[in-house]
Amino acid sequence: MHVATQTAEETEELGEQLAGARPADEHGLAAIYLTGDLGAGKTTFARGVLRGLGEADAVRSPTYTLLDLHEVAGLTILHIDLYRLRDETELESLGLRDWARPGSLWLIEWPERGGSRLPPPDLIMTFTVGVSAHEIEVRAGSPMGEKWLRSLTRARTGAGHVHAPGSP
């Protein structure tokens, strides 16, 4: 799925829609990889996911802390930002293994810096700053991710939001 957002509000709305499209019958660990350049909308999108799940507190980038935990909607949500990670072995000090359990949703910015120490992605979202909009490509990385993506596509198609690549 390809989406173009022109404002931070539209990027956050996409996150809220993704949260609402989460398959209700999936209760295992879910991981969403958020890739792209600085300023492309990864944290804004993560804020939308958290808002869509009911987070009322401020949602900031965990760039300096690397990890923020949120308990909402019966889920433990890990918002992880690996931008400052120099080596994947640094992940050990975060205690991520303790959170690799059912009922956890991992939103991982800069997952390529985590190497093989991260769970495989259910969804891979690639954020790109375009000339007139931020381009967001969403791909499934697992059967659960395929189900989630189908649900999001149906929700967005019904609302008239899906853009084909190259369309305005």
In CATH terms, 2-159 corresponds, of 3.30.950.10, 2.60.40.3880, 3.40.50.740, 3.40.50.300, to 3.40.50.300
Percentage above 90 pLDDT, the chain: 45
pLDDT for 92 beyond 70: yes
In contact, 129 and 136? CB cutoff 8 Å:
no
pLDDT for 162 beyond 70: no
Which long-range contacts link 129-135 to residues 24+ away (Cβ below 8 Å)? 129/36, 129/37, 129/39, 129/40, 130/4, 132/6, 133/4, 133/5, 133/6, 134/4, 134/5, 134/6, 134/11, 134/40, 134/41, 135/2, 135/3, 135/4
Tens of pLDDT, residues 48-81? 999 999 887 777 777 656 788 888 888 889 999 9
